Structure 1
Amino acid sequence: MSEKAKEANKKLTVIPLALMCVTSVFMFPNIPRAFLLMGYAAIPWYILAAITFLVPFAFMVAEYGAAFKKEKGGIYSWLEKVVGAKYAFISIFMWYVGWLVWITLTSNSIWVHFSTMLLGKDTTSNWSFLGLNATHTLGLLTIVFVFALTFTATKGLDKIIKITSLGGISVAFINIVAYIGAIIVFILNHGHLAQAINAQALVHSPNPGYQSVVSIISFISFAILAYAGIEVVAGVTDQTENAEKNFPKGVLIGAAFIAVCYALGIFAVGIFTSWTGVLGGKDVNMVNVTIIIMNNLGVEIGKGLSLSTAASISLGNWLGRFVGLSLFLTYLGALVSYSYSPIKQLVEGTPKELWPGNLSQIKDGLPKNAMWIQCIIIILFILFVSLGGQGASAFFDKLVLMTNVATTLPYIFIAGAFAKFKKNEEIEKPFVVYKNYKSSLIWTIIVTATVLIANVAVIIKPALTKGDFASSLWMIAGPAIFAVVALLMYGRYENIMKGKGNLPI
């Protein structure tokens, strides 16, 4: 076989590409969260977000990735060459902030999975240490955990990689157990659904907090976050066989499969979960809802098999332990990985003059100094939030909301620059999905507007629905503060470059 033939055989075809999209994006915990917030009414919003965000944004980053495949700076390199260095730095800095908030959130929520792994259910809302309440106790534990996490990440990842692999396999089993379990309950209950489904259920949320128009629109932010990760396909356009034809087809198939899986998953949860009976309690939040729902699945299977109440509860607790262990292992590995990978791209992808002192220094392939500064920032952030006097459930929910806003902001920057990217004829574009400037401009507006409207709705929801202006302002303050920090850092960089007679564009 010739070398060209061998190379062609190694290239991605439609089905492997579609599977890559699915494995990069689909996460089972997004299903219980969606059901908690909107019930069956989450289904049409997930489908809408796939049409207005997932597919068109995937095509955008694919064109970016193909045009700048030789650049190592990722998002920064894309936007620097399209818009300018300042815009690019603010964008990647905000992208990094999204991961910073995610690390903070997940470092907190991992204790929910730890509790479930040991006890079969989430007991974190009752934890107390040295007279501290649950929120303060969780904050203290998280501070210790973040320090240990950073120490581990700076020493090496060989052992953690094995844990991550084990956790990934376990999470795959969660999907299988959930779907098969739903079918078993459906059969045992002779087709009766715990949560009735009809036309009204598809447009009306059972959650009292999601009744207003603003609340419902804000859910789009959660749907967008459920599709986060699709940008990884940007790096495989040059590895796809007959890319101009197969890449769009593979992404469309993958996106459709993801949307269908989310829709079927939400329906499956409704088969064995009554929203009012199971999720209406005050201690249910977007972190522990996956465990609560899977625990309930075990209980419902036990009831369907005519087991005793005690045996059914025990089955639920053991299923909860399995889920807790799976999620604990997965998030532990992910936290170690993401405690260094986003900041590594931020530091390595941008000019070293942007970073004061020795923050840009790379040791053993890692920006260790920057990682310890990151650790300090996270600890200060945890102290600020945990000392706010809120209950553990509200504490978790606020962090999830902040993650949605911070994580999706870079999508606005990336999508917003796409039309300008298409108009720049000096940039070589070896891969094209949007054939003309008009279509690229239309989809730039659609994707940007989708993310922008969702974020605005998330921010104003607490103020309009509950009169909670503090939460709305807090969600604005986080991204705003980091944007100011980015501008100050870039201003310092400009002054340094002026002194060298090389002012950046």
Structure 2
Amino acid sequence: MEKNNKQLNWAMISLIAFNLVWGLGNVVNNYAQQGLSVVTSWVIILVIYLIPYALMVGQLGATFKEQEGGVTDWIANTSTKRLAFFAAWTYWVTQIPYLAQKSQVILISLGWIVQGNGDFLSSLSTPALVGLELLAFLLLLYLSTKGLKALKYLGTLAGGSMLVMSLLFILLAVALPAIKPDLQLATANMDKVSTYIPKFDFVYLTTIALLVFSVGGAESMSPYVNKAKNPAKEFPKGMIAMVIMVGVCAIFGSFGMAMLFDSNNIPADLMRNGAYQAFDVLGQHWGIGRLLVFIYAVTQFLGQASVLALNVDSHMQIFLGSADKDFIPGWLRKRSKTGTLVNGYILTGVLVSILIALPLLGLKQIDSIVHWLTNLNAIVLPTSYLWVFLAFIFLYRNWDQYKNAQYIFIKNKKLGILIGGWGFCFTAFACILGMFPQIDMGKQPTEWWFTFLTNIITPVLLLAIGLILPWLARREQKAKN
């Protein structure tokens, strides 16, 4: 049985990791913020962040190969149960902006399916948009309680299709000059080095969070470490291959975006409609009309809908499935006769609904709402990555106990703590600087302050709720006794 379980080679590992980490939206969103200079940013973030991050995950997974809880188990084994609870809570609650954003992306894709353009949401007022997002989210939240198998099949199919579409975009865009030698590129001076050098100012630093968010998620690979034929060799090779694949897609994808959209005059709706518009232009150039737009919109709709519904249930089962009664009160662990975590779903619904409704307090334009929620997600979700680096530091704090794993990234105790500390500080730095809006405060003071305050308050409140739960659990225990 052990032999049969260890069938993954480095190529398989790299493909699994790539599918978990990467998506076309990462190219579009970061290009929208930085333009063509994002090419340099991609190289920097891959070298100083993604490579060590992925290899740390490999070592942690190999060290705790019998544990299936990922980061929570890593913290529990290297520190305390209390810290493990907070790690579990962080990984669950940081999904809230992610889920809110999914309902928005679903509506955008639906508009392109029905109308064939991005005008549907543009015509809506903020209350109407919020109402539709709430309707879409609550419907999918209800479906997730039913555990529909069709969602899993659709999600798998759409996920594979989305990967193909992401790679297809790069191939069609990069090969475009070969079929149209006289093609007029949207961005000028693409042959000059200066075009690719970012302006390393404060505004640039506020965009790093989205880069970190785009390359995160490698900790999901931890269960595959010991399924490799030779973890010590195959897993790091697979991770490096994944980094190369991400780098190629990020860089050439950015080139493709620059060919179609002027890097010095980026459209306000690029985050919302950029991928669809890109496929529209490519389809026209390649003589296949709007076929690519329709396929991409359908895969987005099915993929994002299934991801939203399945993520709600999967993350809740991980967090509450084997919850410790010392830290989580009984009402939150309550199950229905069919096994549904009733109050867990209610809490999810309340938190996501509040977040979806927040733009009513200060945002009026659809693209402002898209930018706000995309960047908020990039601030909140990476805070969960902090626990990976903290677990790595704790691992080296007790190095004599853990230095015999099948795969070791760093053998020196002090260097291991230093590298873990670097990842922790860089992630925290990116999240904090990301809280400052890329909005002209002089021209849009209301939107600037709304974005700034919600960027600070949202992660603080979401994480603070986790401090209340152990207190409620203790009160519950005392009442019973």
- The alignment's TM-score, normalised by the length of structure 2, stands at 0.89
Partner of 1:448: 424
Structure 1 residues without counterparts, runs of 5 or longer: 205-210, 303-311
* CA RMSD across the alignment: 2.7
Per-residue deviation, residues 426-475 of structure 1 (Å, max 9, x unmatched): 45752322112122122112211221221122113458976634422211
Of 170, 189, 209, 2:180 maps to 189
Per-residue deviation, residues 356-408 of structure 1 (Å, max 9, x unmatched): 34321345454233113311222232223334342111111111111011100
Partner of 1:320: 293
The count of aligned residue pairs is: 471
Partner of 1:272: 260
My pick for the range that moved more, 424-433 or 290-299, is 424-433
Of 275, 284, 309, 1:336 maps to 309
| 1:345 Cα deviation after fit | 1.0
Q: 2:202 and 2:119 mapped to 1: Cα distance? A: 32
Note if 1:244 corresponds to 2:238. Answer: no
1:125–1:393 contact (8 Å) kept in structure 2: no
| 1:301 Cα deviation after fit | 4.2
Partner of 2:275: 290
| 1:327 Cα deviation after fit | 0.7
Per-residue deviation, residues 217-236 of structure 1 (Å, max 9, x unmatched): 23222222221221122112
| 1:259 Cα deviation after fit | 1.2
Note if 1:109 corresponds to 2:105. Answer: yes
2:206–2:433 contact (8 Å) kept in structure 1: yes
Partner of 2:48: 52
Partner of 2:405: 430
1:62–1:234 contact (8 Å) kept in structure 2: yes
Partner of 2:204: 216
Per-residue deviation, residues 311-358 of structure 1 (Å, max 9, x unmatched): x9xx2x443222211211111111111121112211124313433343
Partner of 1:203: 197
What is the one-letter code of the residue matched to 1:382? I
Q: 2:30 and 2:215 mapped to 1: Cα distance? A: 13
Q: 2:404 and 2:379 mapped to 1: Cα distance? A: 31
Partner of 1:306: none
Note if 1:261 corresponds to 2:249. Answer: yes
Note if 1:411 corresponds to 2:385. Answer: yes
Q: 1:242 and 1:500 mapped to 2: Cα distance? A: 51
Q: 2:369 and 2:229 mapped to 1: Cα distance? A: 48
Alignment CA distance shift 1:297-1:11 (3 Å): same
Q: 1:123 and 1:16 mapped to 2: Cα distance? A: 41
Q: 1:253 and 1:70 mapped to 2: Cα distance? A: 25
Q: 1:67 and 1:337 mapped to 2: Cα distance? A: 29
What is the one-letter code of the residue matched to 1:386? L
2:437–2:451 contact (8 Å) kept in structure 1: no
| 1:72 Cα deviation after fit | 4.5
| 1:60 Cα deviation after fit | 1.9
Alignment CA distance shift 1:126-1:13 (3 Å): closer
Note if 1:472 corresponds to 2:445. Answer: no
Partner of 1:86: 82
Alignment CA distance shift 1:255-1:75 (3 Å): same
1:97–1:406 contact (8 Å) kept in structure 2: no
1:119–1:321 contact (8 Å) kept in structure 2: no
| 1:176 Cα deviation after fit | 4.4
1:150–1:372 contact (8 Å) kept in structure 2: no
- The alignment's TM-score, normalised by the length of structure 1, stands at 0.85
What is the one-letter code of the residue matched to 1:355? I
Alignment CA distance shift 1:470-1:47 (3 Å): same
Q: 1:65 and 1:365 mapped to 2: Cα distance? A: 30
Q: 1:72 and 1:235 mapped to 2: Cα distance? A: 7
Q: 1:356 and 1:494 mapped to 2: Cα distance? A: 8
| 1:164 Cα deviation after fit | 1.6
Q: 1:365 and 1:215 mapped to 2: Cα distance? A: 48
Alignment CA distance shift 1:13-1:437 (3 Å): same
Q: 1:267 and 1:391 mapped to 2: Cα distance? A: 29
1:76–1:349 contact (8 Å) kept in structure 2: no
Q: 2:466 and 2:404 mapped to 1: Cα distance? A: 30
Per-residue deviation, residues 138-164 of structure 1 (Å, max 9, x unmatched): 111111122211211111221112322
Per-residue deviation, residues 4-39 of structure 1 (Å, max 9, x unmatched): 7x548x432222222222222121221122222222
| 1:497 Cα deviation after fit | 5.9
Query: Counterparts in 2 of 1:58-73, with a 5 A limit?
Result: 58-73=54-69
1:461–1:472 contact (8 Å) kept in structure 2: yes
What is the one-letter code of the residue matched to 1:476? I
| 1:212 Cα deviation after fit | 6.5
1:47–1:259 contact (8 Å) kept in structure 2: yes
What is the one-letter code of the residue matched to 1:378? V
Secondary structure, aligned partner of 1:354: coil
Q: 1:50 and 1:365 mapped to 2: Cα distance? A: 42
Structure 2 residues without counterparts, runs of 5 or longer: none
Note if 1:20 corresponds to 2:8. Answer: no
Alignment CA distance shift 1:339-1:386 (3 Å): farther
1:150–1:336 contact (8 Å) kept in structure 2: yes
